[in-house]
Structure 1
Amino acid sequence: MEPLGLSAKAQSVYRAMLQAPDAGLGELAERIGLDVPSVAAALDELARLALVRPSSEELGELRPISPEVGLSSLLARQEAELQEYQQRVATNRLMMAQIIAEYRETQESRGNPEAEFLEGADAIRNRVLELSHNCRSEVLVFAAGGALTSTPVWASEETDREMLARGVDVRCLCMASMLGNPAAAHHARALVDAGGQVRSIAVLPLSMVVYDGQVAVLPADVDGELNRAQVLRGRGPVAVLSAFFERLWEEAAPLGDHRGRDESGLTGQERAVLTLLLKGHTDEAVARSLGVSVRTGRRITANLMNRLGARSRFQAGALAVESGWITVS
């Protein structure tokens, strides 16, 4: 049931509760072979998903919701979220098409020589290499579909390293499905190892690169194959594309956490989670602060609770302070 957002441990606890509705925390742990903190974390997850409710007879105890009711409601919520996400994607695609059409119309009416169209993958790649060489501060990349190494709007690993060595900030947003491609995964990992940043997201409207917030290379036709591109200039329209990138960047999941661990065995990300839990932040707020998905944030929280032996999210933060893992500012 993981596609429904239910972890394997939570699923085991839920099944055990359906078989023994009156079982307490210790009995559930014994039935499924988990330790008590793991069962407590799973119960927190089930409560968030509205699959358990407080008992009307036993104070402090939880009882399972019927799967016909609970799972159906969970699926309905996910279907509503999916529909909302698809609507956002469609709106984003329409917005991109409008920006491109308006810019093209303006350039044609002015006869501006700055309006540049590129035909063929070779011409696109050559222009990209030139822009990469002249870039001074920041590169923002939308990599939609195909391997990074075969996307004409994107540069080579050697060019990545050269830009990063010059102090250029390189950030790449790619579709999550791309990372299943060995070449794309290798290129993404190489970019991160060289000092760049890569995040993945389920859907991107198009491939695009923005240089220094002033020049963008994107498809001439939003829905077409990337064998004909246009170079977009001007702070106004390029600023809109940059803002669009930043909005999706906040929603995307990092490729990986390569930061070191402290003497307590914590990464910087884990320390941040414990601090947020101590302050009573919700799962959604924790994920938003970290720039990760809610599911990823919950997985990190459950792991920390297990390591601390905490029975609740707030207790995890309190135990972390008591153990010297974090300090209260």
Structure 2
Amino acid sequence: MRSSLIRLQEDLRRADDSLVRLLGAWRSDGRAEPGQFVEFWEGREAQARRLYELEYGARSSLQGFQSGANTVAPVPSTLAGPAGVEPQDEEVDEEETRDAGEEPALRKDGNPHAAYRVVVDRAFLTEPEALRALDERLAAGHQVRVVDQPLIKLLIADEETAMVQLEAGRSVILGPPLVRLAVELFESVWQRSRPYLREDGDLDPADRRLLQLMLSGLTDAATAHQLGTSPRTVQRRLRALMDAASVSSRVQLGWYAMRNNWV
């Protein structure tokens, strides 16, 4: 089983690498007209605004990977609106705002017209406020899953347009037909990921969060920091879960948790 998981992680890593190499080759080739199939965006502000436009312009679906070191879209998002206006939760009448000669303030409450599917990785779970951000997604009806291997940063809108971050200062927008590469990569990872906080599980949500962090490989200290408790408390709670599962190691606890819908 362990060898199968290792092969799976390698397959997904190669798929990520292949997509990034293909995009780099496309850029250096120079045969495509500007804006045809791909657009390159550089700089934090430009990337953040394009990401915002993509999310809130979607009509039906949004699919994304979220990883750590979010220099473009922090967790949670803190991108300032025009003239320093902070993002807001309430719905804004953008046409009315524009008629008044003002730019609409940026929103952060999610696109109400789109169904969200999001996969996060281990690096994301170490981000400050990551668990709160995921809980807010679940409360908003988003589907959230977790993988252990690193992910590229990706957002797909309506399966028609995708944004892939190539490096901290540069992203690429993919249109048809290249967007299919991003869609297929997302679906492959989605099928191999595990749900974040299963609603049909038998455990208390706090214990499910603890198991998710353990399965993602976080240390006891990092887990305690995310949960707002102490490493000793983390160890005591894991020991109690091991006793409940009648196992003697954390590895066995992980397998038991996955087999019995604890995570």
Aligned positions of 1:5-84 closer than 5 A: 78=2, 80-81=3-4, 83-84=6-7
In the alignment, which of 183, 194, 215 is matched to residue 140 of structure 2?
Answer: 194
1:34 alignment counterpart: none
2:129 alignment counterpart: 183
Pair 1:161-2:112 in alignment: no
**Which protein, 1 or 2, shows the higher relative CO under an 8 Å CA cutoff with sep ≥ 6?**
2
Aligned positions of 1:1-329 closer than 5 A: 78=2, 80-81=3-4, 83-104=6-27, 108-114=30-36, 115-146=38-69, 150=74, 158=89, 159=107, 161-163=109-111, 165-166=112-113, 168-219=114-165, 221=166, 224=167, 226-234=168-176, 236-258=177-199, 295-300=256-261
TM-score, reference length from structure 2: 0.60
Contact 1:217 1:232 survives alignment (8 Å): yes
State the 1:119 CA deviation: 1.6
Contact 2:66 2:151 survives alignment (8 Å): no
In 2: Cα distance, 1:82 partner to 1:93 partner: 17
State the 1:230 CA deviation: 1.4
In 2: Cα distance, 1:216 partner to 1:157 partner: 25
Q: What is the identity percentage for the equivalent residue pairs of Structure 1 and Structure 2?
A: 19
Distance 1:103 1:213, change over 3 A: farther
In 2: Cα distance, 1:152 partner to 1:181 partner: 9
Contact 1:175 1:201 survives alignment (8 Å): yes
- Residue 199 of structure 2 aligns with an amino acid whose one-letter code is H
State the 1:110 CA deviation: 2.8
Contact 2:68 2:126 survives alignment (8 Å): no
State the 1:154 CA deviation: 10
- Residue 169 of structure 2 aligns with an amino acid whose one-letter code is N
Q: Partner of 1:150: helix, strand, or coil?
A: coil
TM-score, reference length from structure 1: 0.49
Distance 1:128 1:86, change over 3 A: closer
Q: Partner of 1:209: helix, strand, or coil?
A: strand
More helix by share: 1
- Residue 161 of structure 1 aligns with an amino acid whose one-letter code is D
State the 1:203 CA deviation: 1.3
Contact 1:208 1:216 survives alignment (8 Å): yes
Distance 1:110 1:92, change over 3 A: closer
User: What is the aligned length?
Assistant: 185
- Residue 258 of structure 1 aligns with an amino acid whose one-letter code is E
State the 1:160 CA deviation: 5.7
In 2: Cα distance, 1:83 partner to 1:231 partner: 31
State the 1:296 CA deviation: 3.6
In 2: Cα distance, 1:199 partner to 1:136 partner: 22
In 1: Cα distance, 2:201 partner to 2:11 partner: 36
State the 1:213 CA deviation: 0.7
Contact 1:153 1:209 survives alignment (8 Å): no
State the 1:173 CA deviation: 0.6
In 1: Cα distance, 2:173 partner to 2:78 partner: 14
State the 1:208 CA deviation: 0.8
State the 1:190 CA deviation: 0.3
- Residue 260 of structure 2 aligns with an amino acid whose one-letter code is R
Distance 1:298 1:113, change over 3 A: closer
